[in-house]
Chains A and B, each alone.
Chain A
Amino acid sequence: MICSKFTGDNAFELIRNIIAPALENIGDMWNCGEIALSQEYMASKMCEVIVEDILPSESSSRKNQPILGITTLGDEHMLGKRIVISFLKSCGFDVHDYGDMAPENVVRKIAEDNVQVILVSTLMLNFAHEVKKLRSILESNGSGTKIIVGGAPFMFDPDLWREVGAHAMANDATESLDVICKLMGGNTCVN
């Protein structure tokens, strides 16, 4: 249905009017426990495919976007990261995927790619604490990159993001977009 409405130059309009609201709704339902993680995953994955069709990564239409990175900081549990990437791509963003790199390597990649916001998704508590190291190295390098965290440990302990020195937390992929917007001064939502 979405692809049939695509006229060649209305990708962001379709994202803004159809895809983003649908994903936002799905994110809200996940947050309330009304839908399951597998449904959020499949929805984000499908939207990612559609958006890749109407707005390829190399499209010049992708302008005024913040430069985003994402990592699990060593945690091998990749599902949360995968959902966030799919969601952000579905909303027309590019995301540098740093896999499960350790903080030192993530900081190097952040500098190389001029990343403005780094998202950290962890399942295990010990990797949530790696954010402290990430923040410390970023600060000692004089980097202004903002850190947004998410994942089970942050959900079960709503104060943990402050404890580990993140700039913000997001309960789910949808919320990550709102938080990115806020951290970047409100200028980075879907075009």
Chain B
Amino acid sequence: MSTEEMSSMERVLTTLDHREPDIVPYFLLLTTQGAKEFDVSIEKYFSDPEMVASAQISMQKKYGHDCYYSFYYASLELESWGGNTVFYPDASPNCGLPLIHDINDISSLEAPDVYESPGLQKVLKTTSILKEHAGTDIPIIGVVMSPFALPSMQMGMDHYFDLIYEDPDIFEELMDINKQFCIQWANAQLEAGATAICYFDPISSSTIIPPELYRKTGFKVAKSTLHGIKGPTATHMASGRCLPIIKDIIKTGTSIVCTSVLEDLAEVKKECYGKISVLGNLNGIKMRHWSLEDTESKVKEAIDKAASGGGYILSDNHGEIPYTVPSSVINEISRSVRKWGYYRSN
């Protein structure tokens, strides 16, 4: 029996190896919450890469979870393509108007150079500070939007659906351009110190497109993109369902899948057992009003359903805990993991 507590890195690597660590690892995917650490606006917070790194470090110390999360917000990628971001006082920033207005513009579209984008440089700076601090003890999770998801911001969802269904050749052109960007961006984060890349791929989710369409589109894009990323990846459906395509997701080469609260965690774990690990699936929206008892019960339920045998990391189901979730609830998640998450084998 082991008496020494594992480091976060050991805990995560053990579970990814489908073995039971000392305690269930948990990722609190905190983004905008960091602004509260410095009592500044969300816009001001994300303007300062050192502040973001400091907040990640202090939140990890406070809550004890098993990762740093270098993700800022999704539309930061779009900024490097010439798009803009809208900031709000109490929510994640959102992308402004789409930048592709006519599908004929796609043939002349060029992927931006990650190293020439001031916004992306901030993330790399944050990542390198975190790496300096974490050493090999705490995993740093970087994020990319999948090439298949990015067009929802580049052109708007309705026009993107029209493109997928009605102009497959131009769709392929856009995927080629986006893949080039995504791979460069993922590898830049890995070089800066990220341990793994979370591949946000919500359009592939069976909530958004049917499985047969996924196999012809998002699946192929994921397989070739993940092949170009020089590090481990986690596929995140950002609250969308994954069960109908879980066997395909496994074939993309990813190491982890994040499931939705709309799916039964035990069923997802069963499908993934021994093949890839499962992340999820606490309801971030409902979390805003959870009592401490609710929180403990939800954490315990998730652990009961998915933790046995390893291959599981507890997390929210969307890839970020909303700004309006109180710190008392976040703290209770941590306390509940410590209460219910110890493996008997240890």
Q: A-side interface residues toward B, CB under 8 Å? A: 33, 35-39, 41-42, 75-79, 82, 124-126, 152-153, 156-157, 159-160
Q: B-side interface residues toward A, CB under 8 Å? A: 86, 88, 90-92, 94-97, 156-158, 161, 164-165, 206-210, 213, 239, 241, 261-262, 283-286, 288-289, 322, 324
| Cβ B90 vs Cβ A79 within 8 A | no
The contact of B285 among A36, A38, A76, A157, by CB within 8 Å, is: A157
| Cβ A36 vs Cβ B210 within 8 A | yes
CB distance from B87 to the nearest CB of A (A): 11
> Which residues of chain A come closer than 8 Å to B90, judged between CB atoms?
126
| Cβ A152 vs Cβ B208 within 8 A | no
- Least CB separation from B86: chain A residue: A76
> Which residues of chain A come closer than 8 Å to B261, judged between CB atoms?
156
**With A76-B95, A125-B285, A126-B88 given, is the CB distance from A38 to B322 under 8 Å?**
no
**With A36-B206, A36-B210, A76-B97 given, is the CB distance from A41 to B161 under 8 Å?**
yes
> Which residues of chain B come closer than 8 Å to A36, judged between CB atoms?
206-210, 213
> Which residues of chain A come closer than 8 Å to B97, judged between CB atoms?
76
> Which residues of chain B come closer than 8 Å to A126, judged between CB atoms?
88, 90-91
> Which residues of chain B come closer than 8 Å to A125, judged between CB atoms?
91, 285, 322, 324
**With A124-B91, A124-B94 given, is the CB distance from A153 to B285 under 8 Å?**
yes
> Which residues of chain A come closer than 8 Å to B213, judged between CB atoms?
36, 38
CB distance from A33 to the nearest CB of B (A): 6
> Which residues of chain A come closer than 8 Å to B284, judged between CB atoms?
156
| Cβ B158 vs Cβ A76 within 8 A | no
Q: A42-B165, A78-B156, A125-B322 are in contact. List 9 more A-B contacts (CB 8 A).
A: A38-B209, A38-B210, A82-B158, A125-B91, A125-B324, A156-B261, A156-B283, A156-B286, A157-B288
A153 to B284, CA, bound (A): 10
